[in-house]
Amino acid sequence: MINSDFLKSLNEAQKRAVTHLEGPLLIVAGAGSGKTKVLTSRIANLIKEKKAFPNQILAVTFTNKAAKEMQNRVSTILKAEATGLSWLGTFHSICAKLLRKHAPAVNLKSNFTIIDSDDQSRLIKNICKSENIDTKQLSPKYILSIIDKWKNKGLYPNEVIIKSKDIYEKNILPLYKIYQKKLVDLNSCDFGDLILHTVKIFENNNDIRDIYSRNFKYILVDEYQDTNFIQSRWLNLLAEKNRNICCVGDDDQSIYSWRGAEIKNFLEFDKIYKETKVIRLEENYRSSQNILSVASSLISNNQNRVGKTLRSTKDKGELVKLNCFKNGKDEAIGISDELENNFKNKISYNDTAILVRAIFQTREFEERFLKIGIPYRIIGGTKFYERAEIKDCVAYLRIIFQEKDDLAFERVVNNPKRSIGENTIRLIHEYSKKNSISLEKSSKKLIEMNLIKPKTKIGLNSFLSLIDKWRYDLNIKKFNHVKLLQIILDESGYSAMLKNKRDLENENRLENIKELLSAMKEFDNLESFLEHVSLATSIDQEWNEEKVNLMTMHASKGLEFDIVFLPGWEEGLFPHQKSIEEKGQNGLEEERRLAYVGITRAKKRAIISFSMNRFYQGDWIDSMASRFIDELPEKYLEKNSSFDEIKDEIEDFEFNQDFEDNENIKSPGWIRYQKRIK
């Protein structure tokens, strides 16, 4: 029996969105406006009003978590009738289901396997090997990212057109052709294929498309602003007959263009479906009005948006705090002091989050928290000294400092690759154990006895020689530990390895290493730094109780906290200069949407801060307040006591925001910033 009271708990806008049942519908759902409640209530209402049977409703989400939450909520309302909702799930799960039924149409059998990222990587590596492709110059990860990009654009290998300037893509296209053929031979597909194949089946088989387009009387889509081209194409094909497609999302929270999301799908929805009804959900159940006023004022500077005005169901609340600090260390101290005061006043650490623009920024906070004993967790990432690239750097330093450090030796002996395989490592271990000597000495002995294969011997000898040279640099030349690591990264080929692998992950790793070099300057010598790292990584990590939440703004999407700190609002860091250089005005607007997402995570208190100096890549640089700070409305802000004093020291400047796509235009402020760095 359906619980018919579900409509009574809806506000007027939500009720209109739930009860508008005919034709295309775009629900512009502001942050904290109850979009999941609307979607689930809409499904329930469609069944209650006998507009469709459960199996005639297609409801699509991006994550399994969101799909499960939707299923649970619908089950609460529909009771037993919810079992018929067989088409509620993620894009990939629903496409996999469709593809199983029609696999022969794309030369697959219905029992095809879906390969994961590890399988993809192995397959590409094998192809590169057979085609004599140097994976140091063209990494498998980068190759797969380009292939995935093409699939998101709806392109099979024979449909890809390469621009003359795209040299790398020109080299990757033949590999894409081989890769797709291999997948067919293996009766397999990757995640990108699940949607791509399904779209191609629909495009090339009108009879199949008609079956599903007629069956799905109603289509509901969550987080529509995050869809890419192929996902949008799939939805449009399925909505062809009945045109009862309801898309829910928030264009102001579109922050995933780097993952292929196209905001134009949302902005141009009413151009594809001329008869679109647009309903705005503007009542916010999460944040106080002052927080919403700041966020709304900031995002209003974006040109490419549908537009809405959020109203809080709560009171005005506290003013948004704007803090200015002399440097990044003071910023970390200031925030940690406030966290401790909050904790004394019975405010849980669990209810507090620190949201940063880039993951390397967590380091300063982690250092401070470890020093004074504030427990913390990293959401969507790894703690600074536990990140793979940081552990690699530390391992290099450890083996130089201590020849008997076998764990460090084993970690870096073949990192980067030096043709030292598992069999050789096993041989080194066996000789070491037998003779009670270190792995390093064992390696030297085995080379002397000519027990190492020629190719492996070259790589191992090179590594051992470098270790000896770096010890000489440290002990005889008296190079400091910071300079030593810079030399290691250069001469080992580690930096080159990361730079050659062209993807966002490796860019983040390089940023983390730069931050490590900055951190090392705070210590007098290598010994004291290594001791610090050991203590930092050995501190009891089993804080089962309360922890402060540390994460990037991207990772915070969909979450909420009573108190949110937003540090590092400085030009070049936020908005991030790379985003502006690559995407111009579009990049700037996406950065502003990211700021909007960050602010709207806060329920009771939002604290924005920036510093006038920051220790970056081993040097102090003058920073400037982000242009976003100038866009915050004064009447909703409370500034800390040092703000005006420090602010007076900054000469006036004006940012040029008249960017055009693909143009490398810099604002006067950024030019000034660059001069200071140099």
Q: Which residues are catalytic?
A: 35-36, 222-223, 253, 601
Q: Which two tokens stand for residue 172?
A: 């990757």
CB 629 within 8 A of CB 595: no
CB 32 within 8 A of CB 560: yes
CB within 8 Å of 233: residues ≥ 6 apart = 154, 199
Tell me how many helices (H) and strands (E) the chain has. 28, 19
Burial class (CB in 10 A: 0-12, 13-18, 19+), 442: buried
Q: In the beta sheet, which residues pair with residue 398?
A: none
Question: Sign of the CA dihedral 325, 329, 330, 333?
Answer: positive
CB 358 within 8 A of CB 511: yes
Cα–Cα distance measured from residue 254 to residue 251, given in angstroms and rounded to the nearest whole number: 5
Cα–Cα distance measured from residue 579 to residue 375, given in angstroms and rounded to the nearest whole number: 33
Instruction: Looking at 20-165, list the stretches that DSSP marks H as alpha helix, in order from N- to C-terminal side.
Output: 35-48, 64-78, 91-102, 117-130, 140-152
DSSP class of residue 154 equals T
Cα–Cα distance measured from residue 219 to residue 236, given in angstroms and rounded to the nearest whole number: 10
How, if at all, do strands 619-622 and 613-616 pair? antiparallel
Cα–Cα distance measured from residue 99 to residue 193, given in angstroms and rounded to the nearest whole number: 10
Pairs from 532-536 (Cβ < 8 Å, separation ≥ 24): 533/385, 533/394, 535/370, 536/366, 536/367, 536/370, 536/385
CB 97 within 8 A of CB 112: no
Peptide bond into 157 cis (omega under 30): no
Measure Cα distances from 357 to 521, 569, 625 in Å: 23, 8, 14
Cα–Cα distance measured from residue 448 to residue 452, given in angstroms and rounded to the nearest whole number: 9
**Could you write out the DSSP letters of every residue in 413-440?**
TTSS--S--HHHHHHHHHHHHHHT--HH
Q: According to the 3-state scheme, what is the secondary structure of 195-251?
A: HHHHHHHHHHCHHHHHHHHHHCCEEEECCHHHCCHHHHHHHHHHCCCCCCEEEEECH
Q: Which two tokens stand for residue 564?
A: 């949110």
Cα–Cα distance measured from residue 319 to residue 334, given in angstroms and rounded to the nearest whole number: 18
